[in-house]
C-alpha cells in the first residue's frame, strides 16, 4: 500500500474555489480521494471529474453546521477536512473598526473552529477516524505592517490546531496545519510590481514567491497514512522566508 495515497478517502476543502484552497483540493484529488470543493460563490476553475461543489457563505447564520451537513449528505464516506477558508480585511491598527475586527476573527477563526467541531461530531457518531488540516500563515508567528487583525487570527489558528489535536486524539482524529508564507493568489496579487514584492523575493531563500501548488503536497502528506503518527503540528511553507534575518542584496 502507498502510505501517501488517499485512494478510497473523501475530503471537504473549505474556501477552495480559488487560490491555495483550490490547489489543495486538486492535490487531494490527484492523490486518489473524492473531493468536495466549497466557496462563497459558484466554482471558479474547472473541477476534476467526480468532484462536487458546495456554495455557501460561511459568515451566514449556522453556516458551519449547514456546510458539514451538506457535505456528509453528498459524500457519506467523508473522513478528511481541510479548514482553509479565510481572508484579509485589515486596515492600519489605529483605523481598525469593531466591524472589520469581528469579520476577520469570525471568518478566519470562529468558522474554522465550528466547521471542525461539526465534522468531528459526525465522524464520532459514525464511529470513524479521520484527519483535519488547517491553514494558518507565517503571519501567525511574525507580525506584518497594517495586518494586526489578520496576524492575530492566524496566530489563533496555530493554537486552534494544537488544542483540537489534543481534544480529538481520543477519537482517533488527527489535526495538523500548514503555515504558508507569501503565496501568489488573488489575495496577494496586489503586491505584484511593487517594491515590497522585490524585498520579499530577496528575503525568500528560494528566490521566488510561492505558488498555491507549493502548499498541496504538505496537506496531502498530513492527511495520509504516511503522517499517521503526527498530530498538533504546523508545517511552514515559505521557501525560507522566515528563516534568515537578512535578505540577499
Alpha-carbon gap, residue 13 to 114, rounded angstroms: 14
Helix or strand run (H / E) with residue 225: none
Known catalytic residue at 113: no
Cα–Cα distance between 93 and 67 in angstroms, integer?
A: 33
Active-site hit among 113, 150, 200, 229:
150
The whole-angstrom separation of Cα 94 and Cα 22 is 34
Q: Give me 148's grid cell.
A: 494586526
CB atoms near residue 166 (< 10 Å): 11
Query: What gap in Å lies between CA 152 and CA 146, rounded to an integer?
Result: 12
Residues β-bridged to residue 237: 180
Cα 29 vs. chain centroid, distance in angstroms?
16
Q: Coil, helix or strand for 192?
A: coil
Do 200 and 209 contact (CB within 8 A), yes or no? yes
Asked if 157 and 178 count as a contact pair (C-beta separation under 8 A), the reply is: no
Q: How far is Cα 136 from Cα 86, in angstroms, rounded to an integer?
A: 9
Inter-axis angle of helices 213-223 and 19-30, nearest 10: 50
Phi first, then psi, for residue 177 (nearest 5°) are -145, 165
Which residues are catalytic, by number? 150
Amino acid at each position: 500500500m502507498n502510505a501517501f495515497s488517499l485512494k478510497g478517502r473523501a475530503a471537504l476543502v473549505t474556501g477552495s474555489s480559488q487560490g491555495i484552497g483550490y490547489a489543495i483540493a486538486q492535490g487531494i484529488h490527484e492523490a486518489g480521494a473524492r473531493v468536495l470543493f466549497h466557496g462563497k460563490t459558484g466554482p471558479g476553475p474547472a473541477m476534476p471529474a467526480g468532484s462536487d461543489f458546495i456554495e455557501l457563505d460561511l459568515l451566514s447564520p449556522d453556516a458551519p453546521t449547514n456546510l458539514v451537513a451538506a457535505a456528509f449528505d453528498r459524500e457519506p464516506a467523508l473522513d478528511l477536512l481541510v479548514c482553509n477558508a479565510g481572508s484579509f480585511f485589515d486596515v492600519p491598527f489605529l483605523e481598525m473598526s469593531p466591524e472589520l475586527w469581528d469579520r476577520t476573527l469570525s471568518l478566519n477563526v470562529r468558522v474554522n473552529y465550528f466547521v471542525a467541531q461539526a465534522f468531528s461530531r459526525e465522524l464520532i457518531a459514525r464511529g470513524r477516524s479521520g484527519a483535519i488540516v488547517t491553514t494558518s500563515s507565517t503571519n501567525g508567528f511574525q507580525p506584518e505592517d497594517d495586518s494586526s487583525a489578520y496576524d492575530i487570527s492566524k496566530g489563533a489558528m496555530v493554537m486552534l490546531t494544537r488544542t483540537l489535536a489534543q481534544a480529538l486524539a481520543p477519537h482517533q482524529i488527527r489535526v495538523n496545519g500548514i503555515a504558508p508564507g507569501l503565496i501568489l493568489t488573488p489575495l496577494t496579487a496586489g503586491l505584484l510590481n511593487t517594491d515590497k514584492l522585490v524585498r520579499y523575493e530577496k528575503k525568500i531563500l528560494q528566490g521566488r514567491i510561492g505558488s498555491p501548488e507549493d502548499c498541496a503536497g504538505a496537506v496531502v502528506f498530513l492527511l495520509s497514512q504516511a503522517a499517521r503518527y503526527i498530530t498538533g503540528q504546523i508545517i511552514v511553507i515559505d521557501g525560507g522566508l522566515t528563516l534568515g534575518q537578512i535578505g540577499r542584496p
